[in-house]
Structure 1
Amino acid sequence: MRTAAVLARHELRLLVSLLRWLARRPDSGGDGKGSVQVFGYAQGQGAVMAGFWFVCAVETFAMAVLLRNWPTAHRVVLVLDLYTLLFVAGLYAAWTVRPHLLHDDVLRVRQAAHVDLRVPLDRIAAVRRETRTTHERADGELNLPVGSRTTVTLQLTAPIAHFTLLGRRRDVTLIRLHADDDRALADAVTRARSGSSVRPDRPR
């Protein structure tokens, strides 16, 4: 029952994200407390998701034709296919309207509708630009690739709790994420941490 409720909330966030995307109103915090810096991570994914959505649409049409003589199966499969189309659109919308946010003393690391992790700036020991395309699962590490790629690495001074979509807790001390402008994100986090214009580590 609890799992069903969690998944239902996730689906609702996808739907809200789709509505925000259509209305061109991204979720940029909205708490009105101080300035907020926004860092997107979905650039270049539009064509990929559009292609995937098109394939799903073709499959929906094909199944409708194949099952036209079996009304019950046709209706069931049609509902599932239409839901898939809505899900794909909502997923891309969530990537677009739920960017990473830097405000006050917190960096909010996000990914679509299923990750929104608040990282206190005083927990960040180092930030560096680092492009990686392979990510092996390891204890204490959280990898949030987009298109199989991460471009910014955060090393923490102490573990923070990350909860998966289904509520399982993981304590992480290293976070890898993607940002369209990784230099801007790394610079902004470094300035916010130090209160100076010291630049972050150079990419390897």
Structure 2
Amino acid sequence: MSIGELIARARRLAAHEGRWMASLGMWATRRAHGVGDEDVAVGYARAQASTMYGMVFFFAIETVGVSFMLAAHPVAHLVMLLLDLYTVFLVLGLHAAAVTRPHVVRPGELRVRRGARLDLRIPLDRIESVRHDLRFPGANRSEDGVLDVAVASQTSITVTLTEPVTAVDLWGRGTQVRTVRCHADDPRTAVAAIRKLLPAEA
């Protein structure tokens, strides 16, 4: 990997860090990112909430325990305290990003997101079909042309396209996809909202 590629990846990682940090502020003030007054926000974070809160509790307990263990070693104590606090805020930030960056349905576009990591815009005129379709995709299974945007290891909506769109991952790699599977807290309502705005021929 070249120096230029490493710098580009570092910049994308820094941008991701900035997005989840900003999401904490939006979450605290009950604001959503990129959702207009006429848009339909489709939440998907509910399925992972218990897991994320459990992780925060575990890391918080670990932070207290390690602080007591390293109390006699000030430098090590400070380093570990900063790392542990960062981890707690990271987990909270990732969940906050999922809460404040929902999928969005608006005239002409379906916006599929995964927290601060993925933001895929699908023109509605490229959608062939959309349906409620509960799946549990395996971590090691992949299909050509299929993007699984799973939450808590599940997807509940399948969107089939007439022509591919490009999904860009955290590192800037683009993949052509013709089927997108994502999760929604209320998939049937989300499917109805999408179908309502589809062109008549779809």
TM-score by length of 1: 0.90
Gaps of 5+ in 2: 1-6
Counterpart of 1:14?
Answer: 20
Match of 1:131 among 110, 130, 134: 134
Three-state SS of the structure 1 residue aligned to 2:162 is: strand
Deviations 1:82-129 (A, max 9, x none): 100110111111111111101120000011111110000111111111
Distance in 1 separating the partners of 2:200 and 2:96:
34
Counterpart of 2:188?
Answer: 183
Contact 2:47 2:151 in 1 (8 A): no
Counterpart of 1:202?
Answer: none
Match of 1:171 among 176, 192, 201: 176
- 4+ residue stretches of structure 1 with deviation over 4 A? none
Counterpart of 1:87?
Answer: 90
Alignment coverage as a number of residue pairs = 194
C-alpha RMSD over aligned residues: 1.7
Gaps of 5+ in 1: 199-204
Contact 1:142 1:176 in 2 (8 A): yes
Three-state SS of the structure 2 residue aligned to 1:45 is: helix
Give, as a single letter, the amino acid of the residue that structure 2 aligns with 1:3: R
Identity %: 40
Shift of 1:189: 1.4
Contact 1:145 1:178 in 2 (8 A): yes
Whether 1:45 aligns to 2:48 is: yes
Match of 2:103 among 71, 96, 100: 100
Shift of 1:48: 2.1
Deviations 1:116-155 (A, max 9, x none): 1000011111111110012422221111111111000011
Distance in 1 separating the partners of 2:167 and 2:192:
24
Contact 2:35 2:41 in 1 (8 A): no
Distance in 1 separating the partners of 2:200 and 2:75:
64
Contact 2:137 2:150 in 1 (8 A): no
Shift of 1:195: 4.5
TM-score by length of 2: 0.90
Distance in 1 separating the partners of 2:137 and 2:177:
18
